[in-house]
Amino acid sequence: MHKLLSNLLLKRGIESIKDLDESEKQDFENWNKVLSKRELTTDDIKNYCKTQCDNIEIKWAEYSVKHADKAELLPYFTVYRSILMALESPDRERKAIENQITNLL
């Protein structure tokens, strides 16, 4: 575990990662992965954005979350989704061209 994360848990009085709820565990694990690496890769950013979008969609599906709270998540979701689409666009373009050429054969 990265030292900053250990300090954060100590400061908040959390004894173990097991004491966190599921979304907090996911965030914690993502932070630990990011902090443990020297450099981020494009795949790291894609995975982080996907995880954040998934977490937001889970909160939108919960009936106990107020509509106003759900609405506040929309800008975050839009940004994460836009970043994800920008990172994945070369793959989609390549696949489209491959399909087009395959159809010409």
Tell me how many domains the chain contains.
Answer: 2
17 and 52 in a single domain? The answer is no
26 and 56 in a single domain? The answer is no
27 and 8 in a single domain? The answer is yes
**Predicted TM-score (pTM) of this structure:** 0.55
Residue 83's domain spans which residues?
39-105
27 and 45 in a single domain? The answer is no
Query: 77 is written with which tokens?
Result: 């979701």
pLDDT digits (tens, 9 = 90+) for 43-96: 889 999 999 999 999 999 998 889 899 999 999 999 999 999 999 888 878 888
Q: What angle is formed at CA 98 by the lines to CA 93 and CA 101, rounded to 5 degrees?
A: 125
Closest C-alpha to 27, from 5, 46, 42: 5
52 and 102 in a single domain? The answer is yes
pLDDT digits (tens, 9 = 90+) for 12-30: 898 888 888 888 888 888 8
Task: Evaluate whether 2 touches 32 at the Cβ level (below 8 Å).
Answer: yes
Q: Which of 52 and 35 is assigned the larger pLDDT?
A: 52
31 and 61 in a single domain? The answer is no
